[in-house]
Amino acid sequence: MSQQLSLREAIPSDADNLLVFLKKASEQSSFISYEDLNTITKTDEEVSLDEIYQSEFDELILAIFDEQIIGYCRLENIDNSKAEFGVVVERDFWNNGIASYLLEDALDWAQHSQLNEVVLEVYENNSAAIHVYQKYGFELELKNKKTLKMKKMV
């Protein structure tokens, strides 16, 4: 076992492992909600991952440690110039810089794409995430009842 962190683009054959990771992560944090995970099949996820992999405007990056998915980030297109960003890291790996690595990789991908803007929404009481986003140049765009909308031009 290598016990080394690697980042890579998700591919359709990651479907099973990604669903396992998402279910586990949704149980670990009140900041993550995946109510509909139980209705997603492996085939559904494979099709979704293939569409993301083929897209010029979407990206899904996995953080792999000891051959297990421990984090991921997603850029999901809103239109041909704007994408929504999301990141999830398994609780056992929080505070190890993994979200920063994923964010850096996603922003690098975005800068080499046709995107001009990356947006995200974060719970206002998630100070650790807000700190990371601000560190990478995201600025407050809008404050809602429980969340902040932030953006970054790329």
Q: What is the mean pLDDT of residues 149-153?
A: 97
pLDDT of 33:
57
User: Quick one: what percent of the chain has pLDDT higher than 70?
Assistant: 93
Residue 95 DSSP symbol:
T
Structural domain count of the chain: 1
C-alpha to C-alpha distance for 121 and 41, rounded to whole angstroms = 27
pTM: 0.89
Q: What is the mean pLDDT of residues 101-108?
A: 97
Residue 32 sits in a domain whose CATH number is 3.40.630.30
Q: Is the model's pLDDT at 80 over the cut of 90? A: no
Give the model confidence (pLDDT) of 5-36 as tens digits: 999 999 999 999 999 998 888 888 665 655 66
> Which structure tokens are listed for 98?
């993994």
The domain in which residue 64 lies consists of 5-153
